[in-house]
Amino acid sequence: MSDDDYIYDETSGEWVPASQAGTTPAADDDAVVVRDAVGNVLADGDQVTLIKDLTVKGAGQTLKRGTLIKSIRLTGDAQEIDCKYDGIKGLVLRAEFVRKRT
């Protein structure tokens, strides 16, 4: 490549010389940070407790405040977590209604 060759960098939105195209490290913008009701960062496999009574639509059941949810999984959304609970299939909770158990 000659010095006159330019490549469009999609992350910065600028045209950069081809000689500098591979030198900038790629930013990890795909990482979603999920925080609970008090601001603690949640991760896959964490245990959380509910801070509010929640009526589960379609299950005809209410999860009471203080209920322990084990082994959560993060979704691509910053406000939703996927979890398992006895008798409820495909339970998705909002992060604003849980607190990380320490």
Residue 86 lies in a domain: yes
pLDDT on residue 19: 77
pLDDT on residue 50: 96
Residue 79 lies in a domain: yes
Average pLDDT taken over every residue of the chain? 85
The count of structural domains within the chain is 1
pLDDT on residue 29: 53
Residue 10 lies in a domain: no
CB 7 within 8 A of CB 21: yes
Nearest alpha carbon to residue 88 among 67, 100, 99, 74 = 67
Provide the domain limits for residue 39. 34-100
Q: How many helices (H) and strands (E) does the chain have?
A: 0, 12
pLDDT on residue 98: 96
pLDDT on residue 31: 75
CATH of the domain at 53: 2.30.30.40
pLDDT on residue 93: 94
The pTM for the full model equals: 0.67
pLDDT on residue 21: 67
pLDDT on residue 34: 93
Q: Which residues of the chain have pLDDT under 50?
A: 1, 24, 27
Which residues sit opposite 49 in a β-bridge?
Answer: 68, 99
